[in-house]
A and B are shown apart, each in its own frame.
Chain A
Amino acid sequence: MSAQNRLRHGWGWALGSVVLVSCAQLSLKYGMQQLPGNPGFSTYTAMFEYRYWAPVIAPIAVGLVCYATSVLCWLSALARLPLSLAYPLLSLSYLLVYLGAILLPGFNETANAMRLTGVVLVCIGAGLIAWPSTRKDPENAGPGT
């Protein structure tokens, strides 16, 4: 694989990792939204059955699997991209989660211009923190480097 090709694949893996992290958050939220109502006395025994909790547990399990997969994607992204290019990309997930919660059906969260501005600012700030410093400071990485 040519070096350029490798870099391009790296972007794909990094983007996949960001999307998976956002999906994980959204499906965790979706799972918690499915928490059943306060059951009356007649359904008391149902609380001890898996079927009762399945709508909650399944999306949460999906979210955790998404997390694990995103870590794997991240590792293959890092094998192809320098960390300084990949790391600021992670802050995109703030924007993705916000847009997902507003646009996807089933979340019903309200759009708000001020809040969107806040999320974009947080994205920029987190990206800036992840951006590499121009100075080399090897003592930051710990002994041995």
Chain B
Amino acid sequence: MEFRTHLFHSPVSGYDIGRCRTRDKRYPVDCLNMLAWFFLLATIVLTVSSQVLQKQVALAAWPVSRGKRGRLIFYRRQPRFWLALLCLAAAMMCWLVVLDVMEVSSAYTWLSVNYVLMLPISRLLFGENIPPTRWLGVLIIVAGLSLLAWS
């Protein structure tokens, strides 16, 4: 896993693992790596909660749906709908910070943690029943992510 270890680019390009370099000061702590993981986690949590909120609003809209237009009017009155959009916007901000510090090839793949979290959540929160092929899919994703973390 390679990170950019300073928030602003220095003239010397490339990654510097193990040290945190911010504005030409070196710190012994690997704080920007931690920053990258924190913002990645924040992105994942925000997108998952946005999905959950969207699903709740969509479920609430079913009994009152009067065509596409009526449903849009219903959505507009739901605070959860706006909260979901807010979550998405915040997730995009966090994602940009992740992209600044981390390589996109691994960061984007880490977003698949979404699938892993979403399966138990859809079971617990919405009582959906999950066929075994999906659990198998989650296992394969976890295997792939551990290879990614190992490399």
Contacts and interface: CB of A to CB of B under 8 A. Distances in A.
A and B together in one complex: yes
Interface of A: 25-26, 28-29, 32, 35-38, 60, 93-94, 97-98, 101-102, 107, 109-110, 112, 114-115, 117-129, 131, 133-135, 137, 139-140, 142-144
Q: Give chain B's interface secondary structure class.
A: helix
B59 A142 contact: yes
14 contacts: A26-B104, A36-B9, A38-B8, A97-B104, A97-B109, A110-B2, A114-B151, A121-B140, A121-B147, A122-B148, A125-B142, A125-B144, A129-B138, A142-B62
Contacts of A112: 151
Q: Give chain A's interface secondary structure class.
A: helix
B131 interface: yes
B42 interface: no
Q: Which of A94, A118, A127 has the most CB of B within 10 A?
A: A118
Contacts of A131: 133, 137
Contacts of B28: none
Interface of B: 2, 8-11, 23-24, 58-59, 62-63, 65, 95-96, 99-100, 103-106, 108-109, 112, 115, 119, 127-129, 131, 133-134, 136-148, 150-151
Nearest to B139: A125
A18 B55 CA distance: 23
Given A126-B112, A129-B115, A142-B58, A37 B147 contact: no
Contacts of B65: 144
Contacts of B151: 112, 114-115, 118
A140 B128 contact: yes
A126 B137 contact: yes
Contact of B115 (A26, A126, A134): A126
Cβ-closest 7 pairs across A and B: A121-B144, A125-B140, A118-B147, A128-B137, A125-B141, A129-B137, A118-B148
B59 A117 contact: no
